[in-house]
Amino acid sequence: MKEGMKEGQGEAFKKEAGAWLNGWDWDMWGTVEFNREWVVSDTINAKRYFRRWIEDLHSPGQTLSYFMAVERFKDNVRTHIHFLLKGVGDRRYAEVGAPWWERYKGYAWITKYDPLLGANHYITKYITKTLCDWDFDLKKVHQLPIFEAGRVYHGNKKGQ
């Protein structure tokens, strides 16, 4: 738990953050990890490397949005990053992960985002942990209309 945050506050914050993240029209979510030989133990560098990967993904005319949470392992030696991503167009998951592997020789697990499966809440569990950090770059064009976001968050299918 982050310093100065009481247990109940952390849970409430995670729940609200998860609901807020569901208001964005995500394409993909996943986890990227650095090669075991290349140790990235601090969250500041992990966030910087993640942003470089986002720059690698950027194509002219595309607008990318992301939310990411860096998880630093308890051994304080390694980190990995959980993320939500929007704006990569019709690229396949392997295409999105390839620049990560090329740059960092690390693992990239990426899949389609389904708002009913809870990835938004899974990622928010890291924002209140002491060994973790988070960041985002969200574009207004990727935000869902408020009514639609609320319907998805409450588990109702679109159109019902």
pLDDT band at 7 (very low <50, low <70, confident <90, very high): low
Q: What is the pLDDT of residues 86-128, one digit of tens each?
A: 998 889 999 999 999 998 888 899 999 998 888 888 888 877 7
Mean pLDDT of 19-43: 86
Determine which helix (DSSP H) or strand (DSSP E) holds 85, and give its type and residue range. strand 79-86
Q: Indicate whether this model's pTM tops 0.85.
A: no
**Whether pLDDT at 43 is above 70:** yes
Q: Which domains does the chain have, with CATH numbers?
A: 7-153 (3.40.1310)
Mean pLDDT over each residue of the chain, to the nearest integer:
82
Nearest to 135 by CA among 53, 43, 42: 43
Rounded distance between C-alpha atoms, residue 160 and residue 23, angstroms: 18
Single-letter amino acid code for the residue at 136: F
Give the residue among 97, 101, 92, 105 at the shortest CA–CA distance from 38: 105
